[in-house]
Structure 1
């Protein structure tokens, strides 16, 4: 990969923060866990959308870093509180 094909570090960091915010484990089959999963994903997606909208409107110096920090802080304020899905398979069986 050439230098020209690489993302700038601050852009890669922002994209990583977005992926981390949206990468939540699937919930167990319990209705309450499914509802909590939906609410968490909705909250985190809304936070990322808001942050990116502000960034697009105000792309000044430090905006990428501020946006990345905001997304990470907001993600930390909304942790996974439900029981994640477990397939019952071991690591070698899960494939």
Structure 2
């Protein structure tokens, strides 16, 4: 993943920090919805729920200030897996005819 901090790279992120950041990015990276109202509402509800999941994990991490970031990353991924994309996703016009 990432280099561990060393005298040559003292500011390098640890693998656990990189994994936690990746889990946050993955949780919030959901495809845009199709352009109908129902899919847009579902998209916004899903993004809100996933953001809440991430917020809970980060708030707990900041409050407790303990090691174990890998556990936090796994917790985020487990909770996000329970919140799958269930709406029709946006497909750009140029891609609609391809396939």
SS of 2:52's equivalent in the other structure is helix
List gaps (5 residues or longer) in structure 2. Answer: 1-7
Structure 2 match to 1:72:
77
List gaps (5 residues or longer) in structure 1. Answer: 91-95
Query: How far did 1:3 drift?
Result: 2.5
Structure 2 match to 1:30:
36
Q: Distance in 1 between matches of 2:19 and 2:93?
A: 34
- Range with bigger deviation, 4-13 or 47-56: 4-13
Residue by residue over 1:39-87, the C-alpha shift from the partner in whole angstroms, topping out at 9 and shown as x without a partner, is 000000000001000001112232x122111100011000000011001
Higher helix proportion: 1
TM-score (structure 1 length as normaliser): 0.86
TM-score (structure 2 length as normaliser): 0.83
Structure 1 match to 2:5:
none
Q: Distance in 1 between matches of 2:67 and 2:27?
A: 24
